[in-house]
Amino acid sequence: MTKIPENMISLSYYRPEYQSSFETYSLSQEQREFTAMPLGALAVCETSDDRHPIVILYKNELAGFFVLHGWEGVKHYSDNRHAILLRAYSVNEVYQGKGIAKESIRQLPAFVKENFPDKNEIILGVNRNNKAAQHVYQRGGFRDKGIRYMGEKGEQLVLHMDLV
């Protein structure tokens, strides 16, 4: 497994020029069980000012995607109005296994602090059966405080990352 130098990975707001990259974006069938495909998540973002689509870039090529969702998403998981919800996180299958997920999660707190300075916490819901994602999130600094939520696809662990 070749590790990518961290300076080759960056987070950026979605721009229309990334649209064509999403048309060839792939995830395994197992991963599709647990997360939204980017084009579907983008369509929902277009109907909400509270959802912010973010891309993970590797050498300025689209390698991953997620959405940062404000209070309307957070309130299902937490009563912290200063939290932001991480949702629809994925790394394109062709870029997996290179450390992109690990590095993008490492960069996430600084990105949120810079772009959402009123936020003091990042939260997410991860399916109880999605062990691979739990591992990535927890290695990246998210903590399980024992809060559970019943989602559309089963029990969700609510993970938290404090922003200091």
Q: Give a yes or no: residue 34 inside a domain.
A: yes
Q: Give a yes or no: residue 146 inside a domain.
A: yes
Q: Give a yes or no: residue 16 inside a domain.
A: yes
Q: Give a yes or no: residue 1 inside a domain.
A: no
Q: Give a yes or no: residue 126 inside a domain.
A: yes
Q: Give a yes or no: residue 124 inside a domain.
A: yes
Which pLDDT does position 1 carry in this prediction?
A: 47
pLDDT digits (tens, 9 = 90+) for 37-90: 999 999 999 999 999 999 999 999 999 999 999 999 999 899 999 999 999 999
pLDDT digits (tens, 9 = 90+) for 141-160: 999 999 998 988 899 999 99
Q: Give a yes or no: residue 139 inside a domain.
A: yes
Q: Give a yes or no: residue 56 inside a domain.
A: yes
Domain with residue 129: its CATH number is 3.40.630.30
Q: Strands, DSSP E only, in 96-163?
A: 121-127, 143-151, 154-162
Please answer whether residues 124 and 87 qualify as being in contact, where contact means their C-beta atoms are separated by less than 8 angstroms.
yes
Which pLDDT does position 6 carry in this prediction?
A: 54
Which pLDDT does position 139 carry in this prediction?
A: 95
The tokens for 65 are: 């995607």
pLDDT band at 26 (very low <50, low <70, confident <90, very high): very high
Collapsing DSSP to helix, strand or coil, 72 comes out as helix
Rounded to whole angstroms, the Cα distance separating 91 from 64 reads 4
Enclosing domain of residue 49: 6-162
Total domains present in the chain: 1
Does the pTM surpass 0.75? The reply is: yes
Rounded to whole angstroms, the Cα distance separating 164 from 155 reads 29
